[in-house]
Amino acid sequence: MGSFSDSSAVTAAESGLVSCHTCNLLCRAEDHRQAGHPCCPRCGAPLHLRKPASLTRTWALVLAAMLLYIPANVLPIMQTTNLGQTQSDTILSGVVYFMLSGSWHIALIILVASILVPLVKLVVLVYLLLSVQFQWLWRPRERTRLYGLTEAVGRWSMVDIYAMTMMVALVRMDALASVTPGPAGLYFATVVVLTMLAAESFDPRLIWDCAKERR
């Protein structure tokens, strides 16, 4: 099991340097005070050593996303009416439909982007939150990279919404068929937004703070 190996490294915080959360400018907070509070000399945003209430905000967003993830996958995401017959499809049944119709590549994209990516992202965020909360020393570099990867791929979860929009446009070309969005679309879009906000509110520097405190 790995540990914080470079114990002689000096962090930016120990050197009195602060990174602006808005424009990412690295500066010395004590040199840029306005009305008693340090502010970024470039954009004027308040400077904080770490994102305020990072763990609390991230936990709240992650828990809300986990609750909404259930109706997003259980409720129908679209309703198709053809020749008087109405069919409701969830995300998973849509994947099955594309597979049976031979469009396995579309089914794979929706399965990965709409079911696996949000779930894996929630699991990773919970893992990172627990690792900071319990001050784990295990591989801080790898955990930081894992966070960066999670933050980068989260937005691709919206592929399912794009696919549904394309299906609506194609089906409406048929005068006898119609497609209406189901309630799961709103839940799913909310889950994606909440996970993106959770990744944004989490401060990965807390991982290294724990390692420095426990070395």
> What φ, ψ does residue 41 adopt, rounded to 5°?
-70, -15
pLDDT in tens, 182-209: 888 889 889 988 998 999 899 888 888 7
Q: What is the sign of the dihedral through the CA atoms of 143, 131, 157 and 59?
A: negative
* E-strand stretches of the chain: 17-19, 26-28, 33-34, 37-38, 78-82, 85-89, 177-181
Q: Can you give the C-alpha Rg of the chain in angstroms?
A: 22
Domains in the chain, please, with CATH? 1-49 (no CATH), 51-214 (1.20.140)
pLDDT in tens, 74-125: 998 877 776 667 777 788 887 887 788 787 887 787 788 788 888 999 999 9
pLDDT of residue 130: 94
Closest residue by Cα to residue 183 from 54, 89, 112: 89
Global model pTM greater than 0.85: no
C-alpha 19/C-alpha 23 separation (Å) is 8
